[in-house]
Structures are given as C-alpha cells and as structure tokens.
Amino acid sequence: MIEATVDRNTFHNREIVNVAQITSLKDLNKNPVDGFSAGLIDESDIFKWEVLVMGPPDTFYDGGCFKAHLIFTSEYPLKPPKMKFISEIWHPNIDIHGDVCISILHEPGDDKWGYEDAKERWVPVHSVESILLSVISMLADPNDQSPANVDAAKDWRQDYHGEFKKKVKRCVRKTEDM
C-alpha cells in the first residue's frame, strides 16, 4: 500500500511540474522577452529546455548568442532547475563546465556558509523568465565576491579591459560560428 501511495504522489508531482512548465513555455512563446528564447531540447521531454541567451548590450558579451540548457527535476517548482551553458563562456559566476552559480538557482532556505540571505535564493514563485532575466543581469554585472570561476573573477577584477575582454570576445566569436 505504501508503494502505491508513493507512485501516485510521484505521478501527481510530475503532473504539476508538467502543467507549470507547459504554461511557462506557452507564455514565453506567446509573449517573447528580449534577450533570450527558450524551447524544448526534445519535444517528448518537458524537463529539458534549450535556451539561447543573447549577450546584453553594452557589455563584452554583446553580439553573442549563447546556448544553455535548463534542466528541471520532478520537484520543480519547489526546487530550482539547473542551468548549464553549452556554449563556451568566460564569466566569474559560470564555472569552466558551464554550470551557472547564481543565488536565484540555489535551493531555498538558509545558506550553510552564511553568504546569501534566504530571500535571495530560490522560491517557487520564480519563473523561467525571472531566472533568465537574472542570468542576463548577471552577465552584465557579475558577483566576483562569490565566483564559480576564480580565474574569470581574477581577470574581471585585475584586467577587465585586457585579458577578461579578450577571453569574452573569443567566446562571442565562437557563438557566431554556430
């Protein structure tokens, strides 16, 4: 009996996730937002999205079109999705594997290291739109005090118009070849 209850709950949770994601995707397609576009990687899997993030104007990322994946779990919207850039990108808050480190994508609750306030972290009212707008904002204004890529943060702080700009522009050029 317990096993059947777990299965029913899992199915019910997946159903809620599917409705939330389908609604979000329809809203984004009906009312596109400047700076990104989103769709499913595979039409049969609502949990895996492909996102194209345009480099924000007046930044070194301007002109780039960076591909990323947004992966949802069956616990969404109670837990945040994960975001990973597939395109190479040089940024203090994106690790060398492309994983995005931003407060809005950190699990709800208190930060065990005491760096972030709980109010900065994930809450279920966030949408795909709010996530992506936060990521675009992060591209323009990194948090170099809590870097996922220490070398990029060092370049950002110490050689912004030199080495940092050169590495970002190289990534932008690579997206033009896609």
Hey, which residues are catalytic here?
Answer: 101
Length of the chain: 178
The conformational region for residue 171 under phi > 0 = left, psi -120 to 50 = alpha, else beta, is alpha
d(CA 91, CA 74): 29
d(CA 145, CA 151): 12
d(CA 144, CA 29): 33
d(CA 174, CA 177): 5
Question: Which residue's entry shows tokens 């009312």?
Answer: 31
